[in-house]
Chain A
Amino acid sequence: MAIQVIKDKCKGCGVCIKACPFEAIDMNDKIAEINSKCTACNQCVAACPFDAIEKTESDEVIDLSAYKHIWVYAEQRAGKLMNVALELLGEGYKLAKDISEDTKVYAVLIGDNIKGLADECYEYGAEGVICIDDPLLKNFTTDGYTKVLTDAIKEIKPEIVLFGATHIGRDLAPRVAARLNAGLTADCTHLDVKVSSYIDYANKNTTLDTSTLDPNDPDRGIKQTRPAFGGNLMATIVCPNTRPQMSTVRPGVMQKIEPKKGATGELVEYKPSIKASDIRTEIVDIVKSTKELVSLTDADIICSGGRGLGNADGFKLIKQFADKVGGVVGSSRAAVDNGWIDHSHQVGQTGTTVKPKIYFACGISGAIQHLAGMQTSDIIVAINTDPDAPIMEIADYAVIGDLYKVIPEIINDWDKAEDLYDATTR
């Protein structure tokens, strides 16, 4: 699989050089030449006005059929399942049924005395639970968890393994993937197995030309879509020749299913072989932060402040606003970089991805990496003095005005919204 320039067709126009995100094309004697920085991302193929660049797919066939079923690493901390694990069970169930009727989704529980969490996994869509229980696995350690999970994967051979892109998932997954020599895609925001559903997704949400894709393609390999370049570029990654296919998925992106009370499934108790000397790190202490935990991912309403606040005090108004509307406080990277608010509030590519019902962007210009973390919000309200700020391009409601004047009025009239609305419909 590689990108090639068809020399007879190349006119030396240089469009591909500009299109290439990786500076991987040079011009030699008016013929484009692909250099070693190429990642086969395909941008140049699409950009070339003369169809002079092609992508050659490798036709090597490897028997991957020994691998079956989808595993979701059901991350628990201190006996409590993480939200993202439940989200992934919902997604995993959907993907499993897209692969085939008899493909199942399994939750993988690792810990000490955690069998009790199996029921919750079933309720959220797991058809089976693989339980890896040992006192040495009480707390997460890279060495311990990598060993037992790798052993289980080698033995049972799942087709796909999904992890939440938490600080633990992002520590564990790459280590496991490296030990298995398997492909891993980080921080995915969308997953498909059927080509037809990928086409649907792409047509609805992207500028991608899908005419070259066949909706009846029998391929059921996972197509993992993720942002790159600070959200400026989206890439869909596949893992054609290795198994299992592994992804970490950003928290807050996938949908939990309505829990099915009393649901049950197959329990696989996997006996780990682990000894204390396998674990080379010692957890001396686990400190829960005393600062208020901002659950941006769970919030229905987020009130975010940015550079336009002008100073740290501006967040007092944002806090009042959030308190009034029952939301939580978010922020742009600029506000965090200025030291106005803690990083835990940051929304965006390097912060939290959020999907609230309403996102109030107050004094946020809408740098692309901020948009990357909030643009799938149901409703976006932008309050900004600059009508040309990029945030206005994606806002459902653009309020052009001074946030210090408008927000107090919203706070004042929030409870009267119903009356105001009724007055207009009468």
Chain B
Amino acid sequence: MDFQLTKEQEFVRKMVSKFAENEVDPIAADIDKEHRFPEETVEKMAKYHIMGIPFPTEYEGAGGDCLSYAIAVEEIAKKCLSTSTILSAHTSLCTWPIYNFGTDEQKAKYLPDLCSGRKLGAFGLTESGAGTDAAGQQTKAVKDGDEWVINGSKCFITNGGYADIFVVMAMTDKSKGNRGISAFIVEKTDKGFSVGKTEDKMGIHASSTTELLFENMRIPADRLLGEEGKGFKVAMNTLDGGRVGIASQALGLAEGALETTITYMNQRKQFGKKLSQFQYPAFIIADMATRIEAARYLVYYAAWCEDSGVPHMIPAAMAKLYAAETAMFVTTKAVQLHGGYGYIADYPIERMMRDAKITEIYEGTSEVQRLVISSNILNK
């Protein structure tokens, strides 16, 4: 048992932490207020190869591991959950399935642009009538000669308004339920593709969440990702990895909230004493720190499983569930410790609490995680 990070992992943290401090933190409050997608930050993340950490250098990836990627997401999330969402959706939900399921030709065509961050990726599974229930998909893909014709729409798509490349699920055989789903690679320039309305959300204001519309969209046959009818497997495998990303985001957010609360408690005085000198708030800090530490080990373990080829579905589900609920616990308590100042936008904790909620919802709600975990335990 070795709890030591490798030299590379330590340096990834050092680098991304400095990057987040200088490039992400200063604009985090503004982009939240303005609901503005930080294109300039994405460009900078691309420049330093943060957009392709766990992919081989032959595809212009950084040649790193999943744990390094998780650490990078965590460090960005300490300062801005929106920015970490962009990174996480791009890496885990678009680049990863193409890397994992793509043909050599597909990989050669798409991965260099995605890993280098020249192009941004997104993932389309959810529909208005099909969230957790993937088989409820209404989007249909029909083979027509050398082409697929896709009709339908997707909703709540992260990076939707800014992505160039999408991994999209569609029904190729409705009668087969989950086994009738197939995955496709869609480019934003494809004829018949358009971006629908942008959602107005409770939190992560700076991430782009949109509808995707497909109207008789014709794409070449070689855009099928994985085998026909195996789209559900692509989606589920992608989401397993994606959960490590979300868990890292939640972990980072919780850590950021703890840091800012400690700073506040050392400044704020009531009854002639610093808040940190009162036992009740101090004990809450102990609870926060302990949960964060527990979440950290779950998250890093899940990433380690992914790196080591150990099945990571359950560790990822546990990490995501626990880290997300930790983020919610920590930010809610942190707002309370801030009192009135916690409720106004002058302090970052207000944004952090609004942002935290999404980690319990997207890429599988906490209930779905419980379902995955419990069925695995009970059905053994």
Q: B128 contacts the other chain (Cβ, under 8 Å)?
A: no
For B269, list chain A residues within 8 Å (CB): 387-388
Within 8 A of B (CB), among A366-407: 386-388
Bound state CA distance, A388 and B268, in angstroms? 10
Q: Looking at chain B's contact residues, is the secondary structure mostly helix, strand, loop, or mixed?
A: strand
Bound state CA distance, A377 and B274, in angstroms? 30
Within 8 A of A (CB), among B81-125: none
Name which residue of chain A comes closest to B272, CB basis: A387
Bound state CA distance, A370 and B269, in angstroms? 25
Bound state CA distance, A387 and B274, in angstroms? 11
Q: B57 contacts the other chain (Cβ, under 8 Å)?
A: no
Q: How far is the CB of A207 from chain B (nearest CB, A)?
A: 26
Q: B267 contacts the other chain (Cβ, under 8 Å)?
A: yes
Bound state CA distance, A257 and B269, in angstroms? 49
Bound state CA distance, A386 and B269, in angstroms? 9
Bound state CA distance, A386 and B274, in angstroms? 11
For A388, list chain B residues within 8 Å (CB): 269, 274
Q: How far is the CB of B95 from chain A (nearest CB, A)?
A: 36
Give the number of residue pairs across the A-B interface with Cβ within 8 Å: 4
Bound state CA distance, A329 and B267, in angstroms? 27
Bound state CA distance, A388 and B266, in angstroms? 10
For B274, list chain A residues within 8 Å (CB): 388
Q: How far is the CB of A140 from chain B (nearest CB, A)?
A: 37
Q: How far is the CB of A125 from chain B (nearest CB, A)?
A: 49
Bound state CA distance, A388 and B269, in angstroms? 10
Q: Mark B210-245, 1 if CB is under 8 A from A, else 0.
A: 000000000000000000000000000000000000
Bound state CA distance, A387 and B267, in angstroms? 10
Name which residue of chain B comes closest to A385, CB basis: B267
Within 8 A of A (CB), among B240-282: 267, 269, 274
Q: How far is the CB of B16 from chain A (nearest CB, A)?
A: 21
Name which residue of chain B comes closest to A386, CB basis: B267
For A387, list chain B residues within 8 Å (CB): 269
Q: How far is the CB of B300 from chain A (nearest CB, A)?
A: 29
Bound state CA distance, A418 and B183, in angstroms? 84
For B267, list chain A residues within 8 Å (CB): 386
Bound state CA distance, A388 and B267, in angstroms? 8
Q: Mark B266-304, 1 if CB is under 8 A from A, else 0.
A: 010100001000000000000000000000000000000
Q: Mark A180-215, 1 if CB is under 8 A from B, else 0.
A: 000000000000000000000000000000000000
Q: How far is the CB of B26 from chain A (nearest CB, A)?
A: 10
Q: How far is the CB of A402 from chain B (nearest CB, A)?
A: 15
Bound state CA distance, A188 and B170, in angstroms? 74
Name which residue of chain B comes closest to A389, CB basis: B267
Q: How far is the CB of A182 from chain B (nearest CB, A)?
A: 40
Bound state CA distance, A387 and B269, in angstroms? 10
Q: How far is the CB of A407 from chain B (nearest CB, A)?
A: 22
For A386, list chain B residues within 8 Å (CB): 267
Bound state CA distance, A388 and B272, in angstroms? 11
Bound state CA distance, A146 and B325, in angstroms? 68
Name which residue of chain B comes closest to A338, CB basis: B26
Bound state CA distance, A388 and B275, in angstroms? 13
Bound state CA distance, A202 and B269, in angstroms? 37
Q: How far is the CB of B179 from chain A (nearest CB, A)?
A: 58
Q: How far is the CB of A415 from chain B (nearest CB, A)?
A: 35
Name which residue of chain B comes closest to A387, CB basis: B269
Q: How far is the CB of A339 from chain B (nearest CB, A)?
A: 11
Q: How far is the CB of A237 from chain B (nearest CB, A)?
A: 34
Name which residue of chain A comes closest to B266, CB basis: A388
Q: How far is the CB of B135 from chain A (nearest CB, A)?
A: 54
Q: How far is the CB of B269 from chain A (nearest CB, A)?
A: 8
Q: How far is the CB of B277 from chain A (nearest CB, A)?
A: 11
Bound state CA distance, A388 and B276, in angstroms? 14
Q: How far is the CB of A33 from chain B (nearest CB, A)?
A: 25
Bound state CA distance, A386 and B267, in angstroms? 8
Bound state CA distance, A388 and B273, in angstroms? 11
Q: How far is the CB of A189 from chain B (nearest CB, A)?
A: 32
Q: How far is the CB of A404 from chain B (nearest CB, A)?
A: 16
Bound state CA distance, A169 and B267, in angstroms? 43
Q: How far is the CB of B182 from chain A (nearest CB, A)?
A: 53
Q: How far is the CB of A414 from chain B (nearest CB, A)?
A: 31
Bound state CA distance, A386 and B268, in angstroms? 9
Q: How far is the CB of B2 from chain A (nearest CB, A)?
A: 24
Q: How far is the CB of B268 from chain A (nearest CB, A)?
A: 10
Within 8 A of B (CB), among A338-353: none
Name which residue of chain A comes closest to B274, CB basis: A388
Q: List 4 A-B contacts (CB under 8 A).
A: A386-B267, A387-B269, A388-B269, A388-B274
Interface residues of A (CB under 8 A from B): 386-388
Rank and list the top 3 A-B pairs by shortest CB-CB distance, nearest first.
Answer: A386-B267, A388-B274, A388-B269
